[in-house]
Structure 1
């Protein structure tokens, strides 16, 4: 069990953000242990093919050795993410980690498993070998994550929007207790039912929370003294991630609203931006916008603003139509 102690400044400093590097690093767990991540089997099959390519396997090896199943990750490898951060910025942050912090974070992982050969080498020469690790993360993102990132990002952004609304409406106590079943709010602290046994004072530094696809069933914490406090929690609706992005042949919803608008409604079970919808459907951004305007006017799509983005999502009426269509019932 872990405890995170909050000041008023920490409560005010709770932030939600999507971390591309978290998904890249933690995806190794899913690929190495598919039995524990069955929802990701479509991605795992593709990722394993990618990893069999010699030019990928050799460069990714440092990451594979640090992100082993059942191992703890060094905090510097999953830094706290600010809102709208891009992968390149996070890679620069990892590359700039002071050697003393690399050593400290590596040693903090050893109670669970001893360091791998690359981990031991990095411990001995953090300045010389850290660039190899950064390159490994970059290559794995480019080869295995980037092709599916629009779909992943849409689901993660939708969760951030949902959780931000919870925080605004219910305050910190209710927010944390709804975030994950293992968390309890005790007035000035969060108690986490986990095996990590940390007692940590946030000391006014706030807490960044990242929804993630590959954590399994636990909330994971970055809680070393030289790390910005952060937590990674399982994203909602992960089971929808690899669903088909187009309506099936003969889809009754497509007969009613047209195939383009039907494709959007099948995707809008989670809140998504126009840009991501265009990437997922191969439509032009202008075409997506026209369809969304018509669906919004018909009361089938709602929209809300999250930072710089406008998110679209099905209304209750649209959800009824989509469920009927998937169940094979005629709706037209």
Structure 2
């Protein structure tokens, strides 16, 4: 197995961050896998047409979505919760051609669905790669970024709460297949055998993405990030159906089920693709009925289910045990 080893200073400095670049890679991986299936989405079809017409983009996407070792210039650790894609692409373009070729060669050794790296030009490799990721971001991620960000922020909020109460060991629970706390100072990153990484005093950065699976590390010494799938992928916004949902109203039922993880009104609006005014009106009704309660964290107001709301959400989703005589 592969371990990330953290001393006390590394643990103290570890934190969460967001990465538009990692989210773009996650979306590219999902769409690229769609193309291998029987029916691709409209976005998948658009990606397929582009890749058919652009050998460089086709080769790069094939490699980065089908290798156990990502080229360093597409796996850049983010700086914080406000990381911008523009800044990540600046760092990508700063990688020299010799460095790019070295890391591409290494990535090809661990690829299972790539056809070599003959597509890569000998000059301006990372400049062209940055252009590919910029286009992918603009076409496939940015239009849906508010909803994606809301999902990732909710995951971070949940894990930060667990961290504050129970420590990193429990904050990692359910993070991803193969990722778990080992011993007193290590995180198992993979069940495969690669060299362990010693995390320095800058700590480990945990970065969620909205894909259904997949984890990877981003390394730019001394910074190291672990990218993992967020709790609640893009497809996980609940559909509220059935008699209880009809009685409560579809949108209010959906909000109640979504609030099994606390959220702000703006996060709910993004997750459910409705206006903030619509969400606020439904929240007021649910609060007056004792279904939800609110609390403040800094400038943000979070809503969560009360005990009554939790039972109602179970009824809506059909997870409440049947009543027996």
**TM-score, normalised relative to structure 1:** 0.77
- Quote the residue 2:323 is aligned against: none
Q: Work out the CA distance in 2 between the residues paired with 1:97 and 1:307.
A: 39
- Dislocated runs of 4+, deviation >6 Å: none
| TM-fit CA distance, 1:4 | 1.9
Answering whether residue 271 of structure 2 is matched by residue 274 of structure 1, we say: no
Q: Work out the CA distance in 2 between the residues paired with 1:221 and 1:277.
A: 30
Q: How does 1:26-65 map to 2 (within 5 A)?
A: 26-34=26-34, 45-54=41-50, 58=54, 60-61=57-58, 63-65=60-62
Distance change >3 Å, CA 98–CA 86, structure 1 → 2: same
Q: Work out the CA distance in 2 between the residues paired with 1:139 and 1:274.
A: 31
Cα deviation code 1:40-62 (max 9, x no counterpart): x99x5232232245599648535
- State the Cα RMSD in Å: 3.8
Query: Runs of 5+ in structure 1 lacking a partner?
Result: none
Count of residue correspondences: 317
Cα deviation code 1:262-285 (max 9, x no counterpart): 443344344433223334555432
**TM-score, normalised relative to structure 2:** 0.78
Cα deviation code 1:141-172 (max 9, x no counterpart): 22222333333222221111111111111123
Q: Work out the CA distance in 2 between the residues paired with 1:199 and 1:151.
A: 35
Deviates more, 1:6-15 or 1:263-272: 263-272
Q: How does 1:176-195 map to 2 (within 5 A)?
A: 176=172, 179-180=175-176, 182=178, 183-195=180-192
Deviates more, 1:140-149 or 1:265-274: 265-274
Tell me if the contact between 1:65 and 1:118 (Cα under 8 Å) persists in the aligned partners.
no
Q: Work out the CA distance in 2 between the residues paired with 1:175 and 1:321.
A: 27
Answering whether residue 84 of structure 2 is matched by residue 86 of structure 1, we say: yes
- Quote the residue 2:201 is aligned against: 204
Distance change >3 Å, CA 12–CA 271, structure 1 → 2: same
Cα deviation code 1:233-272 (max 9, x no counterpart): 232233852544xx55x8643543x555344334434443
Deviates more, 1:136-145 or 1:296-305: 296-305
Distance change >3 Å, CA 276–CA 129, structure 1 → 2: same
1:80 alignment partner, SS class? coil
Tell me if the contact between 2:265 and 2:280 (Cα under 8 Å) persists in the aligned partners.
yes
Q: How does 1:48-197 map to 2 (within 5 A)?
A: 48-54=44-50, 58=54, 60-61=57-58, 63-81=60-78, 82-99=80-97, 101-113=99-111, 119-120=117-118, 122=120, 124-125=122-123, 128-176=124-172, 179-180=175-176, 182=178, 183-197=180-194
Query: Runs of 5+ in structure 2 lacking a partner?
Result: 321-325
Tell me if the contact between 1:106 and 1:123 (Cα under 8 Å) persists in the aligned partners.
no
Distance change >3 Å, CA 285–CA 215, structure 1 → 2: closer
Equivalent of 2:227 in 223, 232, 240: 232
- Quote the residue 1:286 is aligned against: 277
| TM-fit CA distance, 1:12 | 0.9
Distance change >3 Å, CA 288–CA 195, structure 1 → 2: same
